[in-house]
Amino acid sequence: MEFKEYQGEAEKTIQKYIADEQLNEFIPFLGIIGEAGSVLTELKKKLRDGEGYSGYKDKLKEELGDVLWYISTIATQSKIDLEEVAAINIRKINDRFTEGDTSTFRIYDETYDIAEKFPREFEIRFIAFEDNGLQKMKITDVDGNLIGDPLTDNSYEDDGYRFHDIFHYGYVAYLGWSPVIRKLLKIKRKSDTTIDTVEDGARAAITEELVTLYVYNHAQNHRLFKYSDRVDTDVLKTIQKLVGKIEVQDCTSKQWETCIINSYKVFDELLKNNGGRVLVSIKNRKLLYIGKN
């Protein structure tokens, strides 16, 4: 049975319980709570009686059907198409939980000249050093050329934030995006004035730094994702809002989650080893710690 057909049949059975139309609309909302409790009751019986409860599946079908009726009724009373609800939900859960075919990932600089493209695979080195009592970190390429300025934690405590550029390289590897790294590598897309200004300009770079700091502050309360392979959905939604007007807006929540979790694994290795060598691979969508300096 299609949702459209079900919703039409269910609508014929909607009852009027009281004279007040507005109060009538409240009944299905209360009903769905009661039916959800009935679903849990079936689970309780299953846990209590085990295989002895032979009617579990049939009763569960019945109770889930009652939940569906109330959902359909709420949709009908609100003039919402149940099929549209289902379609929206599928898009939402695919965005959140489906990694997707990597061959369909968009590479934002694919059509540009090689001088304006990220290298598809390259190695960088995080080198820690001390300067006037300050713990600092610099990044070089394999030939020893400095990439950007040396960094400190810019904090009252040693929290390792001087290694945070690894997150920007994570965006490169997993999302094919980073206005911050584009500037450092001198590969801004200057052949297109609009792209250079909007996508590779200061506002986009500030947005990227904001996302990085926002996630880092969240990660402080989650042991820097050391024991987790999940990022809170609300965090991912906030990130998508922050990048909602730039090219990386089409990256899914799952892509962001994969990027964040794997970048933090490399961050952890850099902290433990006080630096090291990292492989950044767009072509394989990987960020790998490959050893000490």
* The pair of three-digit structure tokens given for residue 104, joined into one six-digit string: 């369909």
pTM recorded for the entire structure? 0.86
Compute how many other C-beta atoms are within 10 angstroms of the C-beta atom of residue 126. 26
- The CATH number of 3-97, from 3.40.50.2300, 3.90.850.10, 1.20.58.220, 1.10.287.1080, is 1.10.287.1080
Compute how many other C-beta atoms are within 10 angstroms of the C-beta atom of residue 31. 17
> With 70 as the cut, is the pLDDT of residue 101 above it?
no
> With 90 as the cut, is the pLDDT of residue 17 above it?
no
Residue 140's SS3 state is strand
Position 33 scores a pLDDT of: 95
DSSP assignment of 7-71 equals HHHHHTT----SS-HHHHHHHHHHHHHHHHHHHHHHHHHHHHHGGG-TTHHHHHHHHHHHHHHHH
pLDDT, tens only, 205-224: 999 999 999 999 999 999 99
Residue 77's SS3 state is helix
Q: Domain ranges for the chain, please list them.
A: 3-97, 102-291
Q: Report how far residue 261's alpha carbon sits from residue 170's, in angstroms, rounded to the nearest whole number.
A: 10
Bridging pattern class, strands 134-141 and 121-131: antiparallel
pLDDT, tens only, 108-162: 999 999 999 999 999 999 999 999 989 999 999 999 999 999 999 999 988 899 9
Sequence-distant (≥ 6) Cβ neighbours of residue 80 within 8 angstroms: none
Asked if 282 contacts 175 with a C-beta cutoff of 8 angstroms, the reply is no
